Amino acid sequence: MTIWKLVTSEILHRKMNFALGVLAVMVASTSFIGSITLLQIHEADLVQGMNKLKDDTRKAMLKLGFNVVILPKDQNLADWYADDYASKYMPEDYVHKLANSRIVTVRHFLPSLQQKIEWPERKRKIILVGARGEVPNLHKNPVKPLVQPVPPGTISLGHELHRSMDLKVGEKVKLMGKEFTIHACHKERGNKDDITAWIYLAEAQELLDKQGLINAILALECLCTGDALPLIRKEIAAILPDTQVIERGSRALARAEARTKVEKEARITLENEKHLASILTPVVVTGCAVWVALLGFTNVRARREEIGVLRTLGVSAKSILVMFVSRHILVGVLGGALGFCAGVLAAVYFSTVLEGTRVQITSMDISVAGLLALSVGGAAALAVIAGWIPTMTAIRQDPAEVLREE
Amino acid sequence: MLEFKNINRWFDGPEGKVTALDEVCLSVSPGEFLAVRGPSGCGKTTLLLIAGGLLRPNTGQVSLDGHDPYALSPEMRSKMRASMIGFVFQQFHLIPYLTVQQNILAPSLALPAKGADQRAKELLSRFGLDDRAGHVPAQLSTGQRQRTALARALLNKPKIILADEPTGNLDEGNADIVFGYLSQYVAEGGCVLLVTHDVRAAAHATRTLQMVDGRIIQ
Ligand SMILES: Nc1ncnc2c1ncn2[C@@H]1O[C@H](COP(=O)(O)OP(=O)(O)O)[C@@H](O)[C@H]1O
Ligand SMILES: [Mg+2]
């Protein structure tokens, strides 16, 4: 006969009280673990989303245009905004001046010559862009080119152009008397790019009779997030006094701003969730602790006779304490383990099925094993603490009172 | 073995002081079966609780095997109970979720002993409970329950058995069986202090005292 045997037999005898105790602890630990897990999932989701957003923004900056453009000083901006290309020209050499300067705010420069023309052979208006590989800022670490240039002798066509004329990559087309091999046929972008043809800069200069001239320099990978613009202006003005720098209200920027806003809102939502959890979880846990305590009192009352008899037989108060505490530990460990499973499952179900988050639980900051240990240990402590007062009444019980009852 | 010297015990009831024991003196020696008889409320249970180290007398001296149990710490008093005293009650007071065998072994929780399992087996057969060893009290007759309680009382080979109305819930046949076991225990060198209102006890006891209103009258 051991105390342990007594504890397990009693549990089997009073299954209901035990099961309700386990349930109470489970509810507490489910709410605790569930909210922690869900918050962790949301946090990880947010971080993942932010990383993707940064990447997207970088790509979008490239695809949708750059937000800093260097134009000839005498260019009328109203015309530029209307046409999206400059009618004034500057020497192509400017780009080398910039590249050789100690400018720190810009990584790459992309010289271009753009003009709206009538494609004589095809009888239609197009935007002709002459571009060449970007010129890296020599004082910066060379990085992989962001824009793949159009090789000499080739042409890249916007969606509307190749679609309406049924042109394919590798075919040859004539433009202003010169023959080009089609290098790329772009997908639909829903902007002027769809009616744009890109050729090599030198060839564009020749066709448009603008040798050695360009009408825009795009600044790529500017270390510019809006408020850096005055600095860029100052730097460029010092090197190229004959130019003006404008920030194009690009869609990339708008998109980036929209995303930043989304992220900010997501952060606020997460903070609100945390706040709610920090109020709700203690309330649930306290409620469950009271529940465990009441079950403890019920159990002690039901075992009055038994406790009295054991004490009469000489069983020490300490053994009675061990008896009740180990019962509460069992309630806690079982409830904690079940609550852990239920909490994690609930959080995963809620986030994946109901919210559509695609976050793995393993990407959380806190380890699953640590969470399990926290749940089981915390639940055992909760059960023992909640059951402490009933346990004390049990060990203080006077056996004589039971024996006197007839 | 057990000696009471001028024991007084009173309680503060709702209508003032209730005297349960009034200058009680008695002694029980090994080989003696002392029955204390008296009507309900005369103080029999109080007497037994004091003898068992479960209720401190207000005044007077208790001596159990030469020691005053109330001079010991509660912890030591528990040990003393476990090693020296066997208890039997009218209500049996078996633990409902333990089997007969486990109930008999319950005193080993207080005083773990190597031979306890073997001793429990012996007691099971001595009390004719072999085929009931795995049953819980609810599955037993009252006679079987009291025999289980008796076996439990004997597990640690006590020097004295304190019995409070052990036959109060039993029919005549079962009562005789219980008295028989107690007599047998006394014959083997034990001693019994039995308190009861059952007149049949006198037939089995070696000595009988009468008690009225907390006083022993010869
Ligand atoms: N805890 C108590 N508080 C008040 N009165 C008590 C208490 N215990 C016993 N008594 C009283 O002491 C007297 C003796 O009781 P008890 O020893 O139980 O008698 P018996 O066992 O002979 O029936 C009774 O009058 C009873 O009411
Ligand atoms: Mg009584």
For residue range A160-214, list pLDDT tens digits in order.
989 998 999 999 999 999 999 998 888 887 778 888 899 999 999 999 999 999 9
Q: For residue B87, how far is the Cα from the chain centroid?
A: 3
Nearest-angstrom CA–CA distance, A266 and A273: 10
* Residue A350 pLDDT > 90: no
* pLDDT (average), residues A328-338: 95
Domain that holds residue B93: 2-216
CATH of the domain at B82: 3.40.50.300
- Residue in B49, B97, B110 nearest the CB of A13: B97
Look at residue A28 in the predicted model and tell me its pLDDT: 94
Cα–Cα distances in angstroms (integers) from residue A312 to residues A150, B52, B63, in the given order: 99, 8, 18
Look at residue B147 in the predicted model and tell me its pLDDT: 94
Residue closest via CA to ligand 1's atom 25 equals B41
Nearest-angstrom CA–CA distance, A192 and B74: 96
* Residue A250 pLDDT > 90: no
* Residue A397 pLDDT > 50: yes
The pLDDT > 70 percentage for chain A reads 84
Map tokens 């490239």 to a residue.
A62
Give how far A2 is from chain B: nearest CA, Å: 6
Buried b (16+ CB within 10 A) or exposed e, A245-264: bbbbebbbbebbeebeeeee
Nearest ligand for residue B44 CA: 1
- What residue ranges of chain B have pLDDT lower than 70? none
CB A191 within 8 A of CB A39: no
CB B194 within 8 A of CB B2: no
Higher pLDDT, A366 or B105: B105
Q: What is the pLDDT of residues B109-159, one digit of tens each?
A: 999 888 999 999 999 999 999 999 999 999 999 999 999 999 999 999 999
Look at residue A146 in the predicted model and tell me its pLDDT: 47
CB B92 within 8 A of CB B34: no
Worst-scoring range by mean pLDDT, A19-33, A356-370, B136-150?
Answer: A356-370
Residue type, A58: R
* Residue A405 pLDDT > 90: no
Q: What is the pLDDT of residues A60-91, one digit of tens each?
A: 655 544 567 888 988 888 888 887 788 889 99
Higher pLDDT, B193 or A107: B193
Buried b (16+ CB within 10 A) or exposed e, A362-375: eebeeeeeebbebb
Token pair recorded at residue A239? 């090197």
Distance of CA A75 from the midpoint of ligand 2 (Å)? 116
Map tokens 């990407």 to a residue.
A363
Tell me the residue ranges of DSSP E strands in A264-313: none
Look at residue B37 in the predicted model and tell me its pLDDT: 93
Look at residue A254 in the predicted model and tell me its pLDDT: 64
Look at chain B and report how many structural domains it folds into.
1
Residue type, A377: G
Look at residue A352 in the predicted model and tell me its pLDDT: 79
Token pair recorded at residue A186? 């772009």
Token pair recorded at residue B152? 């439990």
- Cα Rg of chain B (Å, integer): 17
Q: Which of the given ranges, A244-248, A265-269, B133-137, has the highest pLDDT on average?
A: B133-137
Q: Is the ipTM of this complex over 0.90?
A: yes
- In three-state secondary structure terms, A168 is coil
Residue type, B43: G
Look at residue A65 in the predicted model and tell me its pLDDT: 46
Interchain pair A314, B95: CB under 8 A: no
Helix-strand-coil split of chain A, %, nearest 5: 60, 15, 25
Q: From the alpha carbon of B21, which atom of ligand 1 is closest? A: 14
Residue type, B153: A
For residue B90 and ligand 1, the question of a CB distance below 6 A is answered with no
* Residue A142 pLDDT > 60: no
Chain A residues within 8 A of B98 when measuring between CB atoms: 6, 9
Look at residue A141 in the predicted model and tell me its pLDDT: 45
Mutate to test the interface with A, among B18, B50, B54 (most CBs of A within 10 A): B54
Worst-scoring range by mean pLDDT, A30-39, A186-195, A300-309, A393-402?
Answer: A186-195
Contacts of A12 (CB under 8 A, 6+ apart): B97
Nearest-angstrom CA–CA distance, A99 and A94: 9
Chain B residues within 8 A of A3 when measuring between CB atoms: 109
What count of CB pairs under 8 Å joins A to B? 84
Q: For residue B132, how far is the Cα from the chain centroid?
A: 23
Instruction: Please enumerate, as own/partner, the contacts of A192-196 that have beta carbons within 8 Å and a separation of 24 or more.
Output: A192/A84, A192/A127, A192/A158, A193/A158, A193/A159, A194/A158, A194/A159, A194/A160, A194/A161, A195/A125, A195/A126, A195/A127, A195/A158, A195/A160, A195/A161, A196/A126, A196/A127, A196/A128, A196/A129, A196/A158, A196/A161
